[in-house]
Structures are given as C-alpha cells and as structure tokens.
Amino acid sequence: MSRRLGLPSVYLAAAVATAATTAVPLAMTPASGLALRPAATEPAHPYIVIARGPAAARDLVGEVRWRVRRYYTAALPGFAAFLSAAELASLRADPRVRTIEPDRRLHAVPIRRLARPPAGPGTGTGATVYVVDSGVDAGRAEFGDRAWRAFDATGGAGRDCGGHGTQVAGRVHAAAPGAGIASVRVLDCGNSGTLADVLAGLDWIRRHARGPSVATLAVDGSGSPSLDAAVRSLVRSGVFVAGAADAARCRVEPGGAAYSALAPYSAGAAARYLERHPGTNPAILASRLNCTSTHDAIRQNPGRASNLLRHRGGL
C-alpha cells in the first residue's frame, strides 16, 4: 500500500486495528479464562517468545497462563508476555517453543550525514520506504505529499517527538526524492523503545507492504534472535532491509539485509534501483549496491554483482 494508491486515513485505520490485534488477542484468549486467571503471586518480567510455527503460537497464546502483551502473526510466530519464574521455566520446557529472550530497551543509532547525497539513475518513484523509528514529521515541506504516518506501536498518533525518525526520513528523501516514506513509529520521545514494539512494527510491515518496498531500521538490536528472525521474514517476503550498524563496518546478511552507518542512504539507493527493476529479490538487490569504505557514497554497480557480498569494509 502507499499514499499514491489510497488516502492516509486508510493507514491510520490500519494502525488502530493493528495496535488492537498485536496487543492482547481477545479472539485467541477467552474472556472467561482471563477473568478466572489467578492473580500473580510472584514478580513477572517481560519476555519475547518465539514458537516453532504459527499453529504453536496460536495454541500458546490461547492458553491463559501468560500475560500476553503482543501477538505477532506475520514477521514471526510468537508473542510478548510478562512471565514469572515458574511460567518462564514452563515455557522453556515446552516443545512448542523455539526461543525465549528478555524484552529490553532498544535505542536509536546515530546516523552519519553525507554532505552530498549519493546520486544515480531514478528517484525511487513507485517504491515505498518504511522508516521504523521514532516517527516522521510528515508535514515537513521537503517531503511534499510523499510522507505519511502508517503505524504507531506506542499507541500514539505517529507524531515524532524524538526527532530521530524525521532525520532518517530526510536522508532517505535526499537519496530518493521520488519514493514514498511510510512512518512506522516504534520509539518514544527519548528515541528508545522496547524490543516488543520494534517487532510489532516489523510485523505490521510484513502484513501490509505492497509493491517495491524497503525498510530502514536504525536501532541497536544486535544479538536479538527475535529481531533477526523478523528481519529475515521481511526479506523473504520481498522487503529489502537497510539496518544501522556502527560507523566502522558494513555487512550483508546471506538473505539480503544490509547493515551500515549510512542505512538511510542505502535505503534510498535501493528505492532508486527498485524504480527501474521493481521485481528484484532483496538478495539480488543487495549485490547491486556497492559497499565501500573509500567513498562517502552508495553507488549502483550492476556489473559486479558480488562486490557487496565480498567486501567487508565500512560504508
């Protein structure tokens, strides 16, 4: 979906519906069971649970033993819940569970700014870049009518009170001025947020992305199996993911996600390429972007398709 195909109100309605369905799924958890659930007798802490498949996730969420906060249906089979020590031990022993990790705070990663945005053929017209961040000030004149608020995992209206997401969107726009920019807010006014909310944003993109799509994710979620699984799911669905990394390294995952200190520019370069080759697989797209430490630019290099996969320098 994009603003060019429908009004922003469609996204707002979808965001409200998604916020409801990714919280406690009433259809999966009978109200009578919730009412009869005994009060917690020991402290509970937030965790992310990944099941071994969608059916297993549905079964686990349907059991009212857990205080489910989020239920993921697309980017990964699982849920976020508050668990006591006994509940945690029970889930870890459950054969339907693949992994469990503590929910934690994730923070926005500083993004380098290029004095001269990378140039290349095309403007990104027809592609949508999903900015998974603190929101986007869609009313800024530089965006024209190409930016809109798509989803807010924090329960707000998508307003960017932290500023980081608008900064990222501005750099995407500088690299691909014709691309649509969809704000997927997962961070708060302090430019940080929970892993559970970031996963909710990726889950929303996985269910709603249509046409040539790119997601840029500038948070410090390294080492999270849940986040890695959600990113891989997006890539498999055809969404190219440009993630933030430290200033000294650039890497590409086997599936096609690219991580660098210039993630918004990488997202813009991907959008420009997708304008001309809209059906390109993310893995192929990653191989078409030249990742180099010798130039502050992202260049199209279709003649050397394996360049990015071989090079391990900083972008």
For residues 232 and 144, the answer to whether their CB atoms sit within 8 Å is no
pLDDT the model gives residue 41: 67
Q: Per-residue pLDDT averaged across 55-80, rounded?
A: 94
What residues contact 239, with CB distance under 8 A and at least 6 apart?
A: 130, 205, 206, 209, 213, 214, 215, 282
Residue 207 identity (one-letter amino acid): R
pLDDT the model gives residue 36: 34
The residues of the chain that CATH labels 3.30.70.80 are 14-104
Query: How does residue 101 score in pLDDT terms, banded at 50, 70 and 90?
Result: very high
Whether the pLDDT of residue 168 is over 80: the answer is yes
Stated as kind and residue range, the H or E segment containing 273 is helix 263-276
Query: How does residue 8 score in pLDDT terms, banded at 50, 70 and 90?
Result: very low
Query: 118: which 2 tokens?
Result: 């990378």
Q: Per-residue pLDDT averaged across 168-172, rounded?
A: 96
pLDDT the model gives residue 179: 97
Comparing CA positions, the residue from 130, 70, 56 lying closest to residue 103 is 70
Query: How does residue 39 score in pLDDT terms, banded at 50, 70 and 90?
Result: low
* 3-state DSSP assignment of residue 35: helix
pLDDT the model gives residue 51: 97
Q: Per-residue pLDDT averaged across 56-65, rounded?
A: 93
Instruction: Indicate whether this model's pTM tops 0.85.
Output: no
pLDDT the model gives residue 260: 84
Distance CA 116, CA 9 (A): 35
Q: What's the CATH code, domain 107-310? A: 3.40.50.200
Distance CA 285, CA 4 (A): 24
The residues of the chain that CATH labels 3.40.50.200 are 107-310
Comparing CA positions, the residue from 110, 109, 151 lying closest to residue 128 is 151
User: Average pLDDT, whole number, for the chain?
Assistant: 81
pLDDT the model gives residue 291: 57
Q: What's the CATH code, domain 14-104? A: 3.30.70.80
